[in-house]
């Protein structure tokens, strides 16, 4: 299984397709890109994510050839591309505004790039037809851009930029102009096309959900610097800074002072936990007489004879059992007078004595009316409930005024919800739920 995972960034022998080497870009006094070093690999779907003005568009324009770096070098397939004009680069770009030529038909728009480098009419026509098919636009080939819908225009822009089979495709906020439903569908279409063509995609977006959905790796940028480059899972689950944690998704940040906890001993209590007696699995419902008769008479010729086995429910998982004592290791964070220290088992012990922030994702925080059996449990009052349809986010205020967000899936109807405004509640999370970050 491990071989099929696409992760060239973990492979030391893999040569990156694009290398930013200490690239700085200044516009007058303004530093748009600040000493940036970054590798992007072939066949990657790489997302540049950040708020507007963070330099992500400048990076893209430098790749496309519309801007040159002030300092440093950008290598494409091992060659420095500074000074190579945009029309001589094996890089194509899909513009945010799509930049479709309004006086040309869809067909001619897609053929535009091909006509610049070849005069073989048959080959151009074949390639255009292929692109039209890939983006399901065959029916619209003869129309002008203003005669088709926004989603179709987006696909024309994609087809046009892919037509020349570039080594690298740049997508500048490709889905920004589409409505939410269409955007979601198009994200999957983009991923599908990227896989089919095997082109390296670099996408610029300010929409973190979009970046997380489509990208193999995400670079979170702020003020011309890359804060973190990692897979979407790592960015979300293991952000390396409070900025990244806060930028990606919803988070509660609790500031405090870290203190190393005693390291796990060799007589690991984990083994004890495993040695615990697991209760006999209870028996699962068995087929009744009618079911047996039906199987033997009707189904047996089709799916074979009935196997006379005693079905059993799987053994209860460890979480269902009474909570074992808090394992040692990690750090504990003292954060407020009269409140218990918060335990983070994954916390880096070198933070000992430093000011840190504990980042908690709302969906990893449980809310309950009774005191739960959890490593971290705090008491508070429900101030606000954000109802999102499938989820509800509870804003719980602790005694000292700290707000903690807890999220639960709305498996019940709202009317039967047992927690409401002003209710005294407990918020709790496991020892591994929080991420300890340097401030």
Question: Segment near another protein (CB under 8 A), from 110-118, 304-312, 332-340, 382-390?
Answer: 110-118
Closest among 234, 246, 435, 231 to 351, alpha carbons compared: 435
The reply to whether 229 sits near another protein by the rule CB under 8 A is no
In contact, 158 and 98? CB cutoff 8 Å: no
CA dist., res. 226 & res. 220, Å (int): 6
User: Cβ of residue 54: shortest distance to another protein, in angstroms?
Assistant: 20
Task: Report the 3 state secondary structure along 151-193.
Answer: HHHHHHHHHHHHCCCCCEEEEECCCCCCCHHHHHHHHHHHHHH
The reply to whether 165 sits near another protein by the rule CB under 8 A is no
CA dist., res. 301 & res. 287, Å (int): 19
Which strand (E) or helix (H) includes residue 201? strand 200-205
Residue with tokens 């449980």: 366
Query: Binding another protein by CB under 8 A: which of 40, 47, 48, 64?
Result: 64
The reply to whether 188 sits near another protein by the rule CB under 8 A is no
The reply to whether 86 sits near another protein by the rule CB under 8 A is yes
Query: Binding another protein by CB under 8 A: which of 117, 192, 272, 384?
Result: 117
Integer angstrom CA distances of residue 222 from 44, 88, 204, 381 = 22, 30, 13, 35
The reply to whether 93 sits near another protein by the rule CB under 8 A is yes
User: Cβ of residue 74: shortest distance to another protein, in angstroms?
Assistant: 16
3-state helix vs strand vs coil in the chain, percent to 5 = 30, 30, 40
Which is nearer to another protein, 166 or 239 (by Cβ)? 166
Which is nearer to another protein, 128 or 360 (by Cβ)? 128
The reply to whether 120 sits near another protein by the rule CB under 8 A is no
Which is nearer to another protein, 102 or 401 (by Cβ)? 102
The reply to whether 102 sits near another protein by the rule CB under 8 A is yes
Query: Binding another protein by CB under 8 A: which of 155, 164, 357, 361?
Result: 164
Calculated CA dihedral for residues 104, 105, 111, 115, nearest 10 degrees: -40
Size of the site for another protein (CB under 8 A): 24
Query: Binding another protein by CB under 8 A: which of 65, 69, 72, 347?
Result: 65
Question: Segment near another protein (CB under 8 A), from 92-100, 266-274, 360-368, 398-406?
Answer: 92-100
- Specify the DSSP class assigned to residue 303: H
What pairing do the DSSP bridges indicate for beta strands 376-387 and 30-40? unpaired
Instruction: Look up residue 9 and give its two tokens.
Output: 């960034």
Query: Binding another protein by CB under 8 A: which of 5, 30, 78, 146?
Result: 146
Site for another protein, rule CB under 8 A:
64-66, 85-87, 91-93, 95-97, 99, 101-103, 112-113, 116-117, 146, 160-161, 164
């Amino acid at each position: 299984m491990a071989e099929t995972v696409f992760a060239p960034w973990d492979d030391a022998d893999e040569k990156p397709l694009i290398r930013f080497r200490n690239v700085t870009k200044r516009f007058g006094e303004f530093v748009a890109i600040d000493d940036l070093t970054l590798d992007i690999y072939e066949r990657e779907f790489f997302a540049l994510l950040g708020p507007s003005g963070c330099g992500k568009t400048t990076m893209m324009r430098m790749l496309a050839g519309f801007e040159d770096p002030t300092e440093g070098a950008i290598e494409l397939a091992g060659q420095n591309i500074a000074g190579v004009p945009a029309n001589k680069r094996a890089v194509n770009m899909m513009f945010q505004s799509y930049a479709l030529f309004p006086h040309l038909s869809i067909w001619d728009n897609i053929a535009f790039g091909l006509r610049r480098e070849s005069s073989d009419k048959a080959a151009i026509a074949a390639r255009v037809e292929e692109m039209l098919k890939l983006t399901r636009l065959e029916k619209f080939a003869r129309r002008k851009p203003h005669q088709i819908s926004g989603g179709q225009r987006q696909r024309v822009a994609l087809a046009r930029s892919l037509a020349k089979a570039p080594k690298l495709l740049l997508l500048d906020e490709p889905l920004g102009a589409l409505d939410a439903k269409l955007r979601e569908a198009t994200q999957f279409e983009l991923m599908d096309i990227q896989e089919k063509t095997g082109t390296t995609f670099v996408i610029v977006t300010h929409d973190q959900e979009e970046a997380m959905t489509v990208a193999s790796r995400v670079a979170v940028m702020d003020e011309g610097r890359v804060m973190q480059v990692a897979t979407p899972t790592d960015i979300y689950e293991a952000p390396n800074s409070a900025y990244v944690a806060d930028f990606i998704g919803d988070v509660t940040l609790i500031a405090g002072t870290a203190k190393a906890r005693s390291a796990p001993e060799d007589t690991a209590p984990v083994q004890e936990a495993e040695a615990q007696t697991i209760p006999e699995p209870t028996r699962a419902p068995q087929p009744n007489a009618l079911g047996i008769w039906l199987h033997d008479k009707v189904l047996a010729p089709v799916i074979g004879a009935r196997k006379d086995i005693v079905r059993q429910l799987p053994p209860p998982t460890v979480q269902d059992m009474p909570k074992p004592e808090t394992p040692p290791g990690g750090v504990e964070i003292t954060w407020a007078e009269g409140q218990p220290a918060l335990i983070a088992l994954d916390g880096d012990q070198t933070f000992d004595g430093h000011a840190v922030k504990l980042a908690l994702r709302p969906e990893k925080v449980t809310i309950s009316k009774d005191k739960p059996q959890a490593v971290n449990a705090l008491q508070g009052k429900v101030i606000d409930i954000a109802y999102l349809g499938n989820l509800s986010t509870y804003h719980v205020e602790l005694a000292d005024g700290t707000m903690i967000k807890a999220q639960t899936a709305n498996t019940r109807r709202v009317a039967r919800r047992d927690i409401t405004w002003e209710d005294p509640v407990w918020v709790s999370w496991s020892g591994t739920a929080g991420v300890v970050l340097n401030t």
